[in-house]
Chains A and B, each alone.
Chain A
Amino acid sequence: EVQLVESGGGLVQPGGSLRISCVGSGFTFGNFAMTWVRQAPGKGLEWVSSISGNGGSTFYTDSVKGRFTISRDNSKNALYLQMNSLRAEDTAVYYCAKDVPYWGDWGQGTLATVSS
């Protein structure tokens, strides 16, 4: 059974940084691309970023380019999202999801709140 467990969310001030993580199990982690999708409170789903299985290719939505960095450590079955220069509009539940370009396996999400 595929399991994805996010962690690292919390409250951060505007302009601050946060790194969230996702650990996967139940599948060969390095064989799959991984993705971050976010959902602002009361809003819809927004694809944020994806990374290839070997980490060699990364993709970002325009609004986070230059501020967010996706990475992975396949030896730890871990996916990361380093979020810098955070804005109020980045406040959301961040879900990790397995594979691309659609997602059948999701974590439970971690909430990142950007507020002073």
Chain B
Amino acid sequence: EIGMTQSPGTLSVSPGERATLSCRASQSVSNNVAWYQQKDGQAPRLLIFSASIRATGIPARFSGTGSGTDFTLTISSLQSEDFAVYYCQQYNNWPPGAFGQGTKVEIK
């Protein structure tokens, strides 16, 4: 079973700064990775699929890159509404659709 490891666990960033979140798969998952944002008390929201394609309505400041085992979610200029927990998920070997453990982006 493929494992997804996210780093760092917590990222402290000032508004307007860039945030870079990493996700590593235990074996190649091609580009079959999605990213989600989750705010307290809310359901997850799909940001990115196929490693780099923004979902409908997602602002251009969110971008995804990577293939194989290493993936990155970048938020180019953090807005107040972007402070949340972010999860990656692989779906190359589905089921199961393994999630990473999450990265919390907090205000510095």
Contacts and interface: CB of A to CB of B under 8 A. Distances in A.
Interface residues of B, number: 24
A101 B94 contact: yes
A104 B56 contact: yes
Contact of A102 (B42, B45, B91): B91
Interface residues of A, number: 19
Contacts, number: 54
Contact of B46 (A59, A101, A104, A107): A104
B95 interface: yes
Given A102-B49, A102-B89, A104-B55, A47 B95 contact: yes
A107 B94 CA distance: 22
Interface stretch (B18-26, B66-74, B99-107): B99-107
Interface string B76-108: 000000000001010100111111111000000
Given A95-B43, A106-B44, 15 more contacts: A44-B99, A45-B38, A45-B44, A47-B98, A60-B95, A61-B95, A100-B97, A101-B32, A101-B91, A101-B95, A102-B89, A104-B55, A104-B56, A106-B43, A108-B42
Interface of B: 32, 34, 36, 38, 42-46, 49, 55-56, 87, 89, 91, 94-102
Interface of A: 37, 44-47, 50, 59-61, 95, 100-104, 106-109
